[in-house]
């Protein structure tokens, strides 16, 4: 992926330089203004791309003998995260809803990394029954769980409900992962020091917890429901951090960046041909690809300096400022109690 970025930047430079040569050939003018303008435009475009592309994690940590569980590992950020964990020698459990895509991704990862310790398991986060069945099997068959990465998510979908009657976005993004995490905590504690990584979003900044209508029954808005679910992720980090003190298990949240992945599949506008054409240059410069989008997850899961760091929020492989609402202990505890009641009662 880094090579692709390098090639793209070289092509960009060659295009600008070729334009300059054509201009000089046709006009016979070596105008300093045009030379400066062309060079300046090239530099600006390169800097814009580098800024939005984000950093690449450079740590050399190995995962030999360790087990990593990643939800939604069949595509996008999850797939790239799984690939990196496999490359570092880890035993990787891909917990996915779509087994066909997951097995395809597994084969690709094995081929690229030559690590055959990659396993696919069925997990539908929109079903508490599926989550319980997955965790029962996992806890019975897996000896270790060193890193849990709650990566799967759904973004700004139409008004839908989970198998258990919850609004789809908060149902999958928060309640599903809440139950999954709770059912795997004993295994994580047994293997401490261990880590939980929760993929949230910058959109949590726009979130408000509507405790009187968490399922958005009265007034559904796709953006509002998504933002609420991402704030719920950060409140989950907050409440879980306090409960894990002294256990050797850490939990942190993160924003992966604006990433061009299948998470955008519910944006109908992106499927229109004219918008695909118009949005392509915007995506090139202002969106990360899946590889770059996975870097902060990889950083939070592996960086040795974070071994005892818990309750934080990261972006672009460094600490970032989360919303004030995500530090509200009263809301975090209230959401925890509601989440326990909902997940235990179904």
How confident is the model at residue 3, as a pLDDT?
Answer: 44
Q: How far is CA 98 from the centre of its chain?
A: 18
For residue 41, what are the CA distances in angstroms to 38, 71, 167, 311?
Answer: 5, 41, 46, 41
What residues of the chain score a pLDDT lower than 70?
Answer: 1-53, 259-286, 345-346
Closest-CA residue to 288 (of 263, 318, 320, 270): 263
Beta strands in the chain (DSSP E): 67-71, 91-96, 118-122, 147-150, 194-199, 249-255, 313-315, 318-319
The burial class, CB within 10 Å (0-12 / 13-18 / 19+), for 62 is: exposed
Q: Which helix (H) or strand (E) holds 3?
A: helix 2-27
pLDDT given at position 287: 72
pLDDT digits (tens, 9 = 90+) for 74-109: 999 999 999 999 999 999 999 999 999 999 999 999
Cis peptide before 42 (omega within 30 of 0): no
Packing angle of the helix pair 76-87, 295-302 (nearest 10 deg) = 40
322: which DSSP letter?
P
Active site residue 220: no
Residue 236: how many CB atoms within 10 A of its CB? 27
The CA distance from 168 to 111, in Å, is 35
Look-up of token digits 């070289």: 10
Kindly tell me the burial class for residue 183, based on how many C-beta atoms sit within 10 Å of its own C-beta (0-12, 13-18, 19 or more): middle
The CATH number, out of the four listed (3.40.50.720, 3.30.360.10, 3.40.50.970, 1.20.1250.20), of the domain defined by the range 67-344: 3.40.50.720
Rg (the chain; Cα; Å)? 22
- Distance linking the first and last C-alpha atoms of the chain: 43
At residue 54, the pLDDT reads 80
Secondary-structure breakdown of the chain: helix, strand, coil percentages, each rounded to the nearest 5: 55, 10, 30
Spot the catalytic one: 226, 285, 299, 313.
226
Q: How many helices (H) and strands (E) does the chain have?
A: 12, 8
Greatest Cα-to-Cα distance within the chain, rounded to the nearest angstrom? 79
Can you tell me whether residue 161 is helix, strand or coil?
strand
Place of tokens 């900044």: 205
Treating both helix axes as pointing N-terminal to C-terminal, what angle do 177-190 and 128-141 enclose, rounded to 10 degrees? 10
Q: Where are the alpha helices (DSSP H) in 88-176?
A: 99-113, 128-141, 168-170
Question: What is the C-alpha to C-alpha distance for residues 201 and 169, in angstroms, rounded to an integer?
Answer: 13
Domain extents in the chain: 2-53, 67-344
Strand (E) or helix (H) holding 148: strand 147-150
Q: How far apart are CA 122 and CA 134, in angstroms?
A: 7
């Amino acid at each position: 992926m880094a090579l692709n970025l390098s090639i793209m930047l070289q092509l960009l430079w060659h295009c600008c330089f070729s334009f300059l040569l054509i201009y000089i050939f046709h006009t016979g003018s070596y105008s300093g203004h045009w030379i400066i303008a062309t060079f300046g435009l090239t530099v600006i475009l390169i800097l814009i791309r580098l800024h939005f592309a984000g950093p690449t994690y450079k740590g050399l940590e190995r995962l030999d003998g360790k087990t990593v569980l990643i939800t939604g590992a069949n595509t996008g950020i999850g797939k790239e995260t799984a690939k990196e964990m496999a490359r570092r020698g880890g035993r990787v459990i891909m917990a996915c809803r779509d087994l066909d895509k997951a097995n395809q991704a597994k084969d690709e990862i094995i081929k690229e990394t030559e690590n055959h310790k990659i396993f696919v398991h069925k997990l539908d986060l929109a079903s508490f029954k599926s989550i319980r069945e997955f965790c029962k099997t996992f806890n019975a068959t897996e000896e270790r769980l060193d890193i849990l990465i709650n990566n799967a998510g759904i973004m700004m979908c139409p008004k839908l409900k989970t198998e258990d009657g919850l609004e789809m976005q908060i149902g999958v993004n928060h309640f599903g992962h809440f139950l999954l995490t709770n059912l795997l905590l004993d295994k994580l504690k047994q293997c401490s020091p261990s880590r939980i990584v929760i993929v949230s979003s910058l959109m949590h900044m726009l979130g408000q917890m509507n405790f009187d209508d968490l399922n958005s029954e009265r007034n559904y808005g796709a953006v509002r429901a998504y933002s609420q679910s991402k704030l719920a992720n950060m409140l989950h980090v907050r409440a879980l951090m306090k409960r894990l003190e002294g256990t050797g298990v850490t939990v942190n949240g993160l924003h992966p960046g604006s990433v061009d992945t299948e998470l955008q599949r519910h944006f109908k506008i992106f499927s229109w041909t004219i918008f695909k054409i118009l949005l392509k240059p915007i995506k090139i410069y202002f969106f990360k690809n899946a590889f770059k989008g996975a870097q902060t997850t990889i950083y939070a899961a592996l960086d040795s300096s974070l071994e005892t760091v818990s309750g934080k929020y990261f972006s672009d492989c460094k600490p970032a400022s989360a919303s004030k609402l995500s530090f509200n202990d009263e809301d975090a505890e209230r959401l925890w109690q509601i989440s326990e009641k909902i997940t235990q009662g179904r």
